Amino acid sequence: MQNKVVVITGSSSGIGLALAKEFAQRGSKLVLAARSVDKLKEIETEFNNKGVEAISVATDVSKEEDCKNLINQAINKFKRIDILINNAGISMRALFKDVDLSVLKQLMDVNFWGTVYCTKYALPYLLETKGSVTGISSIAGFIGLPARTGYSASKYAMHGFLETLRVENLKTGLHVLIAAPGFTASNIRKTALSTDGSAQGETPRNEEKMMSAEEVAKHVANAIQKRKSTLILTFVEGKLTVWLKKWMPRLLEKLTYNHMAKEPDSPLK
C-alpha cells in the first residue's frame, strides 16, 4: 500500500476514519471526504503533521457534483487514484408502514447513489492503475433487516451495482470488493433516521460488545491488498447468517425478527 492514493468517503468518523488511519500506517496517500468540514480539516492537519500526505474535500455523496469534485481534487493533487472506498452511509430504524418515504429516498441517495457517483468519476483513473473499488456494505445487503427497509434496499442495490461492475471488468484488471462488517462500534446508529427523518440520537445496542472500527479497517485493508471479492466479518451475525440465507431462509427470517425485536424500544414490539 506504500504510496497508493486512497480516496475514502465518510472519513470524518467511525470506519471511514479508522480506514484512513490504517492506510496511513501502510504508507498510503489519502483523500478524505465527508460533510463535516471542520472535522475533516482537523484530521487532515493531524495526518500532515505526522508526515502523511493527505487532503480533505468537503463532500456530500448524495450530490453528483460533489462526487465529481472529490475525484477532480484527488487527481489535481496526486495525479492518480489507486483505491476508492465507498464508505459514506446512513441507517434508519422504523417500520415501513410508519416511515416517511423521504427517509428511504435519502438512504438510497447516500448509500447507493453516493457509491455510483464516486465510482463513475473515479473509474477511468482506477482502470489506468488497475486499482480497487470497495463498497462498505452490511449484512443488511444479504438479508432484509426488519425496521431497516431503506437501509437493506440501499445495500442490496450497492451489491448489485458492484457485482455487475466486477463482471464487466473481468478483463481490465479492476478489483471490486464488497465488505460487510456486521455490527460495528460506530456512530451510524446514533445518526440513524427515524420515521420522520430525524436522527435516532441514542444507539439501541451495546456498542462495547461489537467489533471495533479499527479492527474492521484492518480486515478491509487486508482484503483490498489480497484483492478479495467479498469480505464478511463476524461469525454469527455475518458468515452464519449468509449460510442460513442460502440453506434455511425461513428459519433465518424468524431468527432475524426475534433478534431485532430484542432491541430496546424496538418498533417490532
CA 207 to mean position of chain CA atoms: 18
What does the pLDDT read at residue 185? 60
- In-domain check, residue 17: yes
Q: Which of 117, 121, 125, 151 is flagged as catalytic?
A: 151
- In-domain check, residue 92: yes
Task: Return the number of other C-beta atoms located less than 10 Å from residue 254's C-beta.
Answer: 10
Assess contact for 141 and 152: CB atoms under 8 A: yes
Tell me the CA end-to-end span of the chain in Å, nearest whole number. 47
Owning domain of residue 145: 5-236
What does the pLDDT read at residue 265? 81
Residue 108 CA to residue 115 CA, distance in Å, equals 10
Residue 133 CA to residue 228 CA, distance in Å, equals 11
Q: Is the dihedral of CA 244, 249, 250, 253 positive or negative?
A: positive
Assess contact for 94 and 45: CB atoms under 8 A: no
Assess contact for 238 and 245: CB atoms under 8 A: no
Task: Enter the C-alpha cell of residue 119.
Answer: 465510482
Residue 213 CA to residue 218 CA, distance in Å, equals 9
- In-domain check, residue 242: no
- In-domain check, residue 19: yes
151: annotated active-site residue: yes
What does the pLDDT read at residue 204? 54
Residue 115 CA to residue 137 CA, distance in Å, equals 11
In what helix (H) or strand (E) does residue 185 lie, and over which residues does it extend? Answer: strand 184-185
- In-domain check, residue 248: no
Q: List, for the chain, all residue ranges whose pLDDT scores fall below the cut of 70.
A: 184-190, 200-210
Residue 11 CA to residue 190 CA, distance in Å, equals 17
What does the pLDDT read at residue 175? 98
What does the pLDDT read at residue 65? 98
CA 210 to mean position of chain CA atoms: 17
- In-domain check, residue 253: no
Q: Phi/psi of residue 240, each to 5°?
A: -65, -40
- In-domain check, residue 241: no
- In-domain check, residue 265: no
CATH number at residue 192: 3.40.50.720
What does the pLDDT read at residue 266? 84
Hey, what's the torsion of the CAs at 224, 230, 235, 241, to 10 degrees? 160
Number of structural domains found in the chain: 1
CA 211 to mean position of chain CA atoms: 15
Residue 134 CA to residue 118 CA, distance in Å, equals 11
